[in-house]
Structure formats: C-alpha cells, structure tokens
Structure 1
Amino acid sequence: MKPPATFDPFRPLNPLCTDDECIEIEGAAASRRGRPSLEEAQRLPVRILEAGWEVLAQHGFDGFTFDRIARHARIGKATIYSRFTGKQAFLDALLKHKVEQRRVSVMSIGADLPLIEAFCHRAVAVVEMMLSPDGLMMERLLDWCDQEFGDCQVNYRHAMFENALLSIETELRGAAARDDVSITDFPLAARFWMEGLLGHIRLMGSARAFDRADTEQWARSYSDFFFGRLTR
C-alpha cells in the first residue's frame, strides 16, 4: 500500500512506544530475566533500529529481514512487529532516526562560535560524515527506499534535503541575529550553502577518500567566500 500524499519520512520522530508499552512488549523474555528497567524500556526502540542498521551493513538489502534484526537486538520477532507493520515502516523509522542523529551531531559543532567559524567546522563534519561508510550506506538506503517505496508523492531523498534546508535556514536566522549579520533571503542562502556543500562532496567522493587537511582548507575558503558575498 502506498503512503498518503501527506507522508513525510523525515518529520520529527515520535517515541516508538510509551514506557509501559516498551516494558510490556518484552513479554516472555522479560519474565525469563526479570522485569526490564525503565532505562532499558526507553532504549528498546533505538536498540531495534540500531540492530536494523547493523543488519543492513552486514547483509545488505537482500539480507534485511526481521529475523536477523531480532537476533541482533536479542529480542523476539514479535516485539518488532508490535512496533512496525512491515519493512517500509521500519525503514521509514530508521531513516528518521539516522537523520536526527546526523542533525544533532552537526548542529552541536561550533555552537558557541561566530557564524562563519561555526559553518566552516560544520562543513568539514558534513563532508566527513557523508563520505564515511555510514554515510555511503545512508545514500544507498535512500536510493533503495525511493526505488521500492517512492512515487510522485513521496521521494525520500527530496524529503531529506528539505529537512536539511530547514535546519540550515533556522541556524542562519539564529546566527545572523546573534552576530548582527544582514542576510536578506534566508531560504535562498540555505539552498546555496547546501548546493555548494553537496557539489563538493560529489566531486571529492568521486576522486578519493576523505582528506581532513584538504577538506578543512576547502571549508575555510568556501565559508569566507560564501558569507563574504552574502553579507556584503
């Protein structure tokens, strides 16, 4: 069944279960080893998703099964089905989880630095992240989801880009107000920043592996040029 037109695979991820539900779905396993702690119950959804990520990394998409996820997470398969109706629902949640991890990681970099410095450091982090094994697997996962589940109403890669643009625009607005920087068109500025960053990643990734020194030099030049042209 195709998702509705309002479907957004990267809207904020709601908790996958309440504390009581997380405890309850441990079922027979919980009775064998004792009632799980509240901390264990709260971590259960993340544990399931991270197990799914490990299965993808080790076995690829053809080997992605709930049986393997259950073994990696050390839970019963029924526990997974109590949270996800099928493969698409699981991968939707997994993408949201990994995108949010990326967002939090990147936005924490240079939070106390001036605008240009913060964006320079974040540019390096994004390049490294997207050229890492996890980043490359995320790219393959997006392509696979678009091929398997996407249509004219749902495009996973476009949804991820829209999510990233909103984060960049929000940060530009906050940093501009804090540093008293004049930016006349925040959405356009966010789009130009992301397009330049993705273009560099594409060129760099096709030529060689991540080079920190080279990336830091590029990020400094790009940030100085971008904000110099943007704010003059």
Structure 2
Amino acid sequence: MTLPPHSSTDQPPATDAPATDGMASPAAPRRGRPSVAEAEQLYGKILDASWEVLLDSGLDTFTFDRVARHAHIGKATIYSRFAGKRELLEALVHHAVAKRRDAIAALQSDRSLAETFSLRAVETLELLHSPDGKLMERLIDWLDTEAGSPQGGYRAMVYRNAVDKIRSLFEMAQQRGEIVIDDCENAARFWLEGLLGHYKMASSEGGHDRAQHMRWADRYVSFFFAGVRQQGSPGAPPR
C-alpha cells in the first residue's frame, strides 16, 4: 500500500529541528548601545552629510530630512544628537574650523618660518575663495544674525582662534631664537589683518589666481619679517 505524501503542514518548522549536536542553535545577540567609537563615527557622519547637503542645496532649503537621506540614517538619529537646525549648524561650524585649522597647521613641518607663513597664506586664501570657504562665511553670518548666536558671535570666535594660532607660531619661533617680537599678540593681529585685507581686495576684483596669491604671499612675508627684524634684534631674519 502506498502511503500518501506528507503535506507541508505536516512538516515541523525548520526552527524546531534539533541541531546536529542535540542542542538548540543560539539566538542572535541583541544589539546594545553603540560604542564610543561608533557614536563618534556617527556624529561625524551626520556633520559630513550636513556639509555636503549645504554645498549641494544651500542653507535656505537645508532640512534634517535631506541630511538623513544623504547619510542613509533615520531622522530620529539626528534629533537624538541635535535639538534643531541651529544646534547642528553650530556644531558644523566648530567641526569645519577644527578641520581647517588642522589642515593648515600640517603645513609647517620641515619648512623655514618664512616658507611656513608664505604657504599658510596661500592655502588660507585658496580656502577662503573655495566653495567650502564661501559656505563657511554664509554659516557664520547666519548664526550671528538670523539665529542670534548666544555665544558672542561666531565671527569673533573664528578670528580669535586664528590670532591664537598665529601668536603661538610666533612664540615658538621666538623660543627657538628665530625671531624677536616684542608683542606677539599684536604681531599676530597685524599678520591676519593683512591677509584678510588681501582676500577682500582680490574678491572685489573677481575670481582668484593661485599664482597671484603665491607672488603676493612672498612679498607680504618679506615685508612683514623685515618689520620684525627692525623692531627686534638686528640681523635676525626668519630661517
């Protein structure tokens, strides 16, 4: 007598089948809280995606929805870290300032003081004229005016940060005996104001040219450190 075939409903669920060793298969581990490294990576991913969205679409149409789609994450993930648009853009400005500072700071290794300042001037001008630099200016203006920054002004913060870094370079060069400067704070302000003045003039003339920036930077370095030599010890050019 031929037995009828078993129907599918007669078969036990695959999950009920015993393991070959007679023990049930272990359940997949549940996902817990992200590690510190993962949390930092996600934070950076949100900021990077925000910057790319701003470069692509501009500030007026910037939304968390756009950032979430660009970063392939949920909008709730962004809100869990930033209460709103202003908080995210504030973090973005700090993030961008730190990246710009680190990139320019890396230019000083294995170069003379004059070469370091000339190269830094060129790269700063290139950055200010770039889409990233123009976006940075727009964000700072928005935070200081439309958002009513409660921290005393982001433009002042960025300026103060730049002066501090330049002053630190002068102080370290002075400790090495490369230059003598009576007032490193005012010297740093003078250097920065000259650089920003050239940027504004070049912007008003339309466009920018790296070769022109390089020629200007070399002349500016010669002029600046000639003044430093006159007010410091004679015959001590930057090395």
TM-score range, shorter chain: 0.7 to 0.9
When residues 211 and 72 of structure 1 are mapped into structure 2, their CA distance, relative to the original with a 3 A threshold, is same
% identity of equivalent residues = 49
Cα separation, 1, equivalents of 2:157 and 2:147 = 13
Q: Are the aligned partners of 2:143 and 2:149 in contact in 1 as well (CA < 8 Å)? A: no
Equivalent-residue separation in structure 2 for 1:154 and 1:89 (angstroms): 15
* Residue 59 of structure 2 is aligned to residue 61 of structure 1: yes
In 1, the alpha carbon distance for the partners of 2:158 and 2:148 equals: 13
Distance 1:187 1:226 in 2: 15
Q: Are the equivalent residues in 1 in contact too, given 2:140–2:155 (CA < 8 A)?
A: yes
> Which residue is equivalent to 2:224?
226
> Structure 1 stretch 170-179 or stretch 156-165: which is displaced more?
170-179
- The separation in 2 between residues aligned to 1:32 and 1:194, in whole angstroms, is 54
Work out the CA distance in 2 between the residues paired with 1:160 and 1:88.
Answer: 17
1:206 matched residue in structure 2: 204
What is the CA-CA distance between 1:190 and the residue it aligns to?
Answer: 0.5
Question: Displacement of 1:150 after TM fit?
Answer: 2.9
Quick one: distance in 1 between partners of 2:30 and 2:138?
A: 39
Q: Which residue of 1 aligns with 2:155?
A: 157
Cα deviation digits, residues 163-211 of structure 1 (max 9, x gap): 1111111111112222431011000000000000000000111213221
Q: Please report how far the alpha carbon of residue 93 of structure 1 lies from its aligned counterpart in structure 2 after TM superposition.
A: 0.5
Q: Give the Cα separation in 2 of the matches to 1:42 and 1:95.
A: 17
- Between stretches 93-102 and 76-85, larger displacement belongs to 76-85
User: Is the CA contact (8 Å cut-off) linking 1:84 and 1:90 kept in structure 2?
Assistant: yes
Q: Secondary structure at the match of 1:108?
A: helix
Give the Cα–Cα distance (whole angstroms) in 1 for the partners of residues 176 and 131 of structure 2.
36
Task: Give the structure with the larger helix fraction.
Answer: 1
Are the counterparts in 2 of residues 150 and 156 from structure 1 also a CA contact under 8 Å? no
- TM normalised by structure 1 equals 0.80
Letter in 1 for 2:195: L
Root-mean-square deviation (Å): 2.3
Show structure 1 runs of 5+ residues with no match. 1-30
Aligned to 1:103: 101
Q: How big is the shift at 1:230?
A: 1.7
Where does structure 1 differ by over 6 angstroms across 4 or more consecutive aligned residues? 31-38
Query: 1:41-94 CA distances to partner (integer Å, 9 max, x unpaired)?
Result: 432111100111111112212211111111111111111111111111111100
- Structure 2 residue ranges without an equivalent (≥5): 1-28, 231-239
Is the alpha carbon distance of 1:165 and 1:181 closer, same or farther for their aligned partners in structure 2, counting shifts above 3 Å?
A: same
Distance (whole Å) between structure 2 residues aligned to residue 36 and residue 44 of structure 1: 10
User: What's the counterpart of residue 188 of structure 1?
Assistant: 186
Matched residue count:
202
Matched, 1:49 2:84: no
Instruction: Indicate if the aligned counterparts of 2:143 and 2:154 stay in contact, CA closer than 8 A.
Output: yes
Q: For residue 137 of structure 1, report the CA deviation from its aligned partner.
A: 1.1
Greater length-normalized contact order (CA 8 Å, ≥ 6 residues apart): 1
Question: How far apart in 2 are the matches of 1:36 and 1:110?
Answer: 37
Asked if the contact 1:115–1:179 (Cα under 8 Å) also holds between the matched residues in 2, the reply is: no
Determine which structure has more spread, i.e. the larger CA radius of gyration. Answer: 2
CA offset digits 1:11-47 (Å, max 9, x no partner): xxxxxxxxxxxxxxxxxxxx99999888654321111
